[in-house]
Amino acid sequence: MKIEWELTSHGHRFSTDPEKFGFLRESNDIYEDAEALRRRMEEDGYLFFRGVLPLETVLAARRAIVEKLASVGEIDESRPLMEAISSGTSRRGQIDTRQFGRELRTLPALKRLVHQGEIIRFFERFFGEPVRSFDYIWLRTVKPGGATGCHYDWVYMGRGTSRLYTAWTPIGDVPYQEGALMVLENSHRIEELLNTYAKIDVDDLSKPNPYGGGWLTTNPIEVQERFGGRWLTASEGGYRAGDLLIFGMFTLHCSLDNRSPVRRIRITSDTRYQPASEPADERWIGEDPIAHGPQAKRGAPTT
């Protein structure tokens, strides 16, 4: 497969041989068909849609986020703001960083994108019942050099229902070279991982956890060699504003390194949705979720 860019995650280079690399199946043709969506999720462990989110809502969120980043000097203002070019500096250290993070991830324009409108309508259809979203919004503003290691989401949010799904939303275009998301094909069926790694809870200190922060590994090639499957990402150069990627709690994913040649910050969110009738993980709900803070910890550290 001919890809112009070298695709790496934490410096590990992906093979683009067709048996090791491919593109996410697009499911726009079944977008309105709840039964077919559920079947495909079961089969693939993810659903990928092109251009289903209203562009003006996505771009309004992007504008609000870059303006907020600019307010602490993180955006190169000699370039158009919406380009989100990193200034390479920050004044966050001079302010209350936690408060700033809270303000950033709860911007009203971001909430309008992920807690209202099309994403909620999608999940109402998918579940066939009222939806609850986690209040906590994982907003990623990934500077050049950053990447996410391979993981299942369950290890971070497995205290409620497993009928829980992630929506990964590009808030602006995300080409391969700027940190696009990768999904390991059929990873929701890797029994060995489901019986071991998937059982950890990163905040439960009473159980052995050889994975520390929760990433299975920062080397996606090693997992592939061990368990097989192709690493998949969006076709045609990457993700675009308006696209939506949904996946289950046991679908292994990671991101490419942000190697933006123009030093663009990668702006995406990942947010979670479940049937409102099912129990929710207490770490991620409420006005100011406890997240992985001290109140989330269980048990004593093992010695």
Ligand X SMILES: O=C(O)CCC(=O)C(=O)O
Residues at the site binding ligand X, with contacts judged by CB under 6 A:
140, 148, 153, 166, 168, 181, 255, 268, 270
The least distance separating ligand X from the CB of residue 301, rounded to whole angstroms, comes to: 25
In eight-state DSSP terms, residue 129 is S
Of 130 and 140, CB closest to ligand X? 140
Between 107 and 180, CB nearer to ligand X? 180
* Residues 258, 179 contacting (CB under 8 angstroms): yes
Q: Which is nearer to ligand X, 200 or 302 (CB)?
A: 200
Q: Are 198 and 152 in contact (CB under 8 A)?
A: yes
Give the nearest distance from C-beta 229 to ligand X in angstroms: 18
| Nearest distance, CB of residue 101 and ligand X, angstroms | 16
Q: Which is nearer to ligand X, 127 or 250 (CB)?
A: 250
> Beta strand pairing status for 231-233 and 253-255?
unpaired
Q: Can you name the residues that pair with 141 across neighbouring β-strands?
A: 267
DSSP track, 205-230: TTS--TTTTS-SBS-HHHHHHHH---
Q: Are strands 244-248 and 46-49 parallel, antiparallel or unpaired?
A: antiparallel
Measure Cα distances from 140 to 70, 104, 110, 147, 260 in Å. Answer: 15, 10, 12, 10, 15
Cβ distance to ligand X smaller for residue 224 or 251: 251
By C-beta, is 21 or 138 nearer to ligand X? 138
**Residue with CB nearest ligand X?**
270
State in angstroms the smallest separation of the CB of 135 from ligand X: 16
CA distance linking residue 168 with residue 137, whole number of Å: 11
Q: Rounded CA gap, 87 and 75, in Å?
A: 5
Q: What's the rounded Cα separation, in Å, for the pair 65 and 104? A: 7
Amino acid identity of residue 70, one-letter, is A
Which residue, 42, 49, 48, is CA-closest to 162? Answer: 42
Nearer to ligand X, 141 or 209 (CB): 141
Q: Alpha-carbon distance 121 to 140, whole Å?
A: 23
**Cβ 153 to ligand X, closest distance in Å?**
5
Beta carbon of residue 255, minimum distance to ligand X (angstroms, whole number): 4
From the CB of 303, what's the least distance to ligand X, in Å?
31
Please name which of 303, 292, 290, 54 lies closest in space to residue 155, comparing C-alpha atoms.
292
Residue 181 sits at φ, ψ, to 5 deg, of -85, 145
In the complex with ligand X, the residue whose CB is nearer, 163 or 302, is: 163
Instruction: Give the nearest distance from C-beta 65 to ligand X in angstroms.
Output: 14
CA distance 160 to 148: 24
